[in-house]
Amino acid sequence: MTIIKICGIKTLKDALAAIEAGADYLGFNFYPKGVRFIEKDTCAKITSVLKQEYPTIKLVGVFVNSSVDEIKNIMQTCSLDLAQLHGDETPEMFAQLAPRVFKAIRLSTDFITDSRMVTDFVGLRQGFLPVLLVDAAVKGVYGGSGVTADWSAAAELARRYPLLLAGGLTPENVGAAIGQVKPWGVDVASGVESGAGEKDAAKMSAFVKAVKTASNH
């Protein structure tokens, strides 16, 4: 079954609706310039409830060019399971957070460079899932753009690594994405929202249903 991560959670209500819909992973965005940014204290209040009520749900912190100390501090305060590095972090930083970390790569047309970059990060994730996340390359934007990733390049990577596919996924296109890429999991933010950063319970349910239908084929 394809794993489902719903990212950019800002309220307990949205977190519970995502779990109710069938999410396996929830993402919390700590990038201050992002529309889905959440304060550490707000997140800690939400995650303390989730850890008690839904201990099997994996909680992920999304970071863009934060320091290792800041990431460790937030992960501890908010009881997060994994850190998702979505910026221009180095393999050295990554190693200091391993194994509770995975890297998001923005697939550009320059796939050779991406392939080299991938190998720098995946070695430290062997035996842990996901190995990486694949997103669309949008100039100046670190994820959550609503732009679709390059599915053919993503499919090439998915044959080699268990990855999360992100980038412009919606209830309408996620079935086709799974059919073409065959990822370990899918990651959605803007595609299940009624407004920027506001999750829509009906869209989340429709997304999960579409994923399950495609996974069963």
What's the pLDDT tens digit per position in 77-125?
Answer: 999 999 999 998 999 999 999 999 999 988 765 554 456 668 888 888 8
CA distance 76 to 189: 24
Separation in Å, CA 107 to CA 44, 134, 180: 32, 7, 16
- Residue type for position 215: S
Each domain of the chain, given as residue ranges in start order, spans: 3-216
Q: Domain 3-216's class?
A: alpha beta
Separation in Å, CA 204 to CA 12, 75, 198: 15, 26, 11
- Sort residue 143 into left (φ over 0), alpha (ψ -120 to 50) or beta: left
What's the pLDDT tens digit per position in 10-53?
Answer: 999 999 999 999 999 999 999 999 999 999 999 999 999 999 99
Q: Residue 59's closest CA among 105, 86, 24?
A: 24
CA distance 86 to 128: 18
CA distance 169 to 185: 12
Average the pLDDT over 48-67 and give the result: 98
DSSP 145: -
Q: Residue 86's closest CA among 104, 68, 61, 66?
A: 104
CA distance 74 to 83: 10
pTM comes to 0.93
Q: Residue 23's closest CA among 46, 48, 57, 47?
A: 57
